Homo-oligomer: A and B are copies of this chain.
Amino acid sequence: MNIAILGTGAGARQHAARLGALGHRVVVGTRDPEATLARTEPDMMGTEPFAVFHRAHPELTLATFAQAAAAGELVINGIDGANAVAALTALPTDALAGKTLIDYAVPYVYQQPGDAEHSWPTPWGEMPRLNPVDTDSLAEQIQRALPETKVVKTFVTQEQETVVNPAEFGGGDHTMFLAGDHQDAKAAAGELLTAYGWSDIIDVGPLAAARGLEMYAHFHTALGLALNGRFGVKIVR
C-alpha cells in the first residue's frame, strides 16, 4: 500500500520505519525536503537530524507535503497540533480528497520551553495548554477544513514508539482507541493497528469523541511522570 506520513518528527519516524518494515511504500512529507536533509543538529526534543534517520531507512522516500499526500492512498498526519490545520489546508485540494487521514496530534499550542502564554506552571514543570479543548478538538477542526477527507483520530493515547509496537510491555495486553465519522476509514485504521500488533481496539464513536482522546493528554503525562516510564491502558470489561 502507498502510505504518506506528513511530518518528520520522532512520532512520524516511528510510523514511517514500521510501515516500511511491514512492506508498504512510504513517502514522508516535509515542508522543504532540502532544508530537512540539511539539518545537522538534534531538535529541541533531542531528536536526531532527519538525515541520520534517513540513512538508516533508505527504503523511505522524502518529498514535499503535497507530493507525499498525493502519493498516499492512506495518509498519517504527523504535523504538530499547532500547525496541522494550516499545513493541511495549504495542500492542493485533491491531494487528500476521498482519503483516510489518521491524526494523532495533541493540540498543544506550546512552542518552546519558557512559552508562559501557552503553558501553566506545575510542581513538575511547565505543562502545555490545549487549544482547542472541551468544546472542540483538533481532529474535528481538520475534518471541517477538509470535508472530502475521512479523518480518524487514533494513536493519541500512547507514545508513538508504543503505538507501532504494543508488545513492548505488558505482553501487548492493552487497548487502543479510534474515533471518526467514517466507518470505512475507521476500518482502514483498524487494519493498520492490527498489523502493528494491537489486539484490543475500541471504536469510541464519532469524531466528537476525539475531544476526550485529546484531553486525556494531561492524565497521560501525569501518569508517565508518576510511574517514571511508559505504560499501557487496558480497558477491563
Residues of A within 8 A of B (CB): 120, 122-124, 127, 129-130, 133-136, 169-170, 173-174, 177, 179, 202-206, 208-209, 211-213, 215-223, 225-227, 229-237
Q: Among the interface residues A226, A230, A231, A236, which one has the most CB atoms of the partner chain B within 10 A?
A: A236
The answer to whether A134 touches B133 (Cβ under 8 A) is yes
- The answer on a CB contact under 8 Å between B124 and A134 is no
Which of B124, B202, B222, B230 contacts A226, CB < 8 Å? B202
Q: Are A236 and B236 in contact (CB-based, < 8 A)?
A: no
Partner of A122, one of B206, B217, B227: B206
Instruction: Report the minimal beta-carbon distance from A223 to chain B, rounded to whole angstroms.
Output: 6
Assess the A123–B205 pair: CB atoms within 8 A.
yes
Q: Which B-chain residue is minimally distant from A179 (CB atoms)?
A: B222
> Among the listed B122, B209, B236, which residue makes an inter-chain contact with A233, where contact means beta carbons less than 8 Å apart?
B236
Q: Are A235 and B236 in contact (CB under 8 A)?
A: no
Instruction: Give the complex CA separation of A160 and B46 in angstroms.
Output: 43
Q: Which 7 A-B pairs have the closest CB atoms?
A: A212-B219, A212-B218, A170-B236, A209-B222, A232-B236, A231-B237, A234-B234
CB pair B122–A236 under 8 Å, yes or no, is no
In the complex, the answer to whether A215 meets B218 with C-beta atoms within 8 Å is yes
- Our pick among B177, B209, B216, B233 for the contact of A215 (Cβ within 8 Å) is B216
A211, B218: Cβ atoms closer than 8 Å: yes
CA distance A237 to B170 in the complex (A): 6
Among B174, B220, B236, contact of A231 (Cβ-Cβ < 8 Å): B236
A226 CB to nearest B CB, Å: 5
Kindly report which residue of chain B lies nearest to residue A222, judged by CB atoms: B209
Q: Is the CB of A230 within 8 A of B237?
A: yes
B120 touches A135 (CB 8 A): yes
Query: Closest approach, in angstroms, between the C-beta of A178 and any C-beta of chain B?
Result: 10
Distance in Å: Cβ of A173 to nearest Cβ of chain B: 6
Please indicate the chain B residues that have their CB under 8 angstroms from the CB of A133 in the complex.
133-134, 215
A222–B221 alpha-carbon span in the complex (Å):
21
